[in-house]
Structure 1
């Protein structure tokens, strides 16, 4: 069991973030369950962790706003202790083509998917650096490296930014004992993905992905949570600036040449 570990998981009220919060708590970390809108769902996650003997709290914050993020980090440290693990899971999916592109929706998505990573990292770096220890894990996507599911070009662009920030922040924060890595999920069954598709449309997408995946199935939130836990572990101090694809072995990447 991990000791003296405090994890802040953004967007942790449902889906992948929820699974990550439970996974880290099971390993002994106290967890701050961040949410933007779903207070009831976040409380259920925190209550579940406490019922299992863990320590947890909830914190409302808009990761696209630095002042809000800084207040959340201060609140977490006051209740649970210094943040040693930051998981940047909060994200939005806006699908469009060049013909249907909407600047406002893209800017809103980028504000969460990219600016959110910058704000949270800025908010925890000083405390982690003072202690000479930290684990930061960013959730990107295999879309960032060329998965061909239609309509995801602009989403992929924000996730590619997240991947680049992962490597650059690893370089900047490494001398202070802070590792920065990324997990790039493939197509995962979550409220967000299933909520946008219904009936035959969902089954068609699921079949499309299964047929292009070595493992022959779509992902579950726990698949991603296990990878995050590996990178968050105290023993994983010599792994940094990496992006781990957790996609079941997808075979439909764009390629040149």
Structure 2
């Protein structure tokens, strides 16, 4: 088991990529704190799945934009499990489609608030504990949209994910001396519910078909593809890797200037 007796905190773990990461980590021996924002029932489903594997699990509600609540969440995890070995900053949002010049300040603030500020809050709350223990793995879920741009009209999303990549590299530099690895994953288009919040079902399917044609492997990603990458970065197999961005996109070689 690659994460035997580890403790992982996964934000946004009630669905999609976060759910796949949480259950994959548990399957490999980790106890898991399942963070969610609104969907308690879905989070409890994930926790019950983990418990059925013989691992421990708790569900914790927290809006990652709320610094005080994030601090409480981290404290609750440490109280329950005694430590945090792995932090996965997965909580993220998109918004209704909009071009940059049509993007409202509300949209801009909310998207960057969850995707960037939320990541910052979780790291600020968790890193001191990891520093004290002299060990930690921090995995930030960015996006291919943070490396290039996107043909989807999500003007705030790409900049928020680009900033997460920069934050990852800065933190890797600052935290390396404490034996803390900080890396990011940049998924391409993945079949998750997050897209349904800003696009119609037809638009989502059309995007899937377009992206599948552009990928060397001829398909879009599944949550498990990202979870497998996260498992590698959480395990001891990646002990000499930090400050890196692991792209999980099926081989978008013919569209490198763009992303999801």
Match of 2:36 in 1: 35
Say if 2:244 is the partner of 1:242.
yes
- Judge which range, 246-255 or 84-93, deviates more: 246-255
Aligned pair partner of 2:128 in 126, 129, 141 = 126
Q: Which runs of 5+ in 1 are unaligned?
A: none
Asked whether the equivalents of residues 90 and 141 of structure 2 are also in contact (C-alpha less than 8 Å), the reply is yes
Match of 1:193 in 2: 195
Residues in 1 aligned to 2:108 and 2:197: alpha-carbon distance in whole angstroms: 20
**1:201 offset after TM fit, Å?**
2.8
**1:53 offset after TM fit, Å?**
1.3
Match of 2:56 in 1: 55
Residues in 1 aligned to 2:197 and 2:114: alpha-carbon distance in whole angstroms: 20
Match of 2:103 in 1: 101
Asked whether the equivalents of residues 181 and 243 of structure 1 are also in contact (C-alpha less than 8 Å), the reply is yes
Match of 2:22 in 1: 21
Aligned pair partner of 2:257 in 250, 254, 257 = 254
Residues in 1 aligned to 2:19 and 2:117: alpha-carbon distance in whole angstroms: 21
Residues in 1 aligned to 2:160 and 2:130: alpha-carbon distance in whole angstroms: 26
Match of 1:149 in 2: 151
Aligned pair partner of 1:210 in 207, 212, 237 = 212
Match of 2:77 in 1: 76
**1:145 offset after TM fit, Å?**
1.1
- Judge which range, 38-47 or 233-242, deviates more: 233-242
Say if 2:190 is the partner of 1:164.
no
Asked whether the equivalents of residues 89 and 139 of structure 2 are also in contact (C-alpha less than 8 Å), the reply is yes
With structure 2 as the length reference, what TM-score do the two structures score? 0.94
Match of 1:176 in 2: 178
What is the SS of the residue equivalent to 1:4? coil
**1:73 offset after TM fit, Å?**
0.7
**1:189 offset after TM fit, Å?**
0.3
Q: Which runs of 5+ in 2 are unaligned?
A: none
For residues 80-135 of structure 1, give each alpha carbon's deviation from its aligned partner in whole angstroms, at most 9, with x where no partner exists: 22001000000011232034211011101111100111111111111111111100
What is the SS of the residue equivalent to 2:214? coil
User: Aligned residues, how many?
Assistant: 255
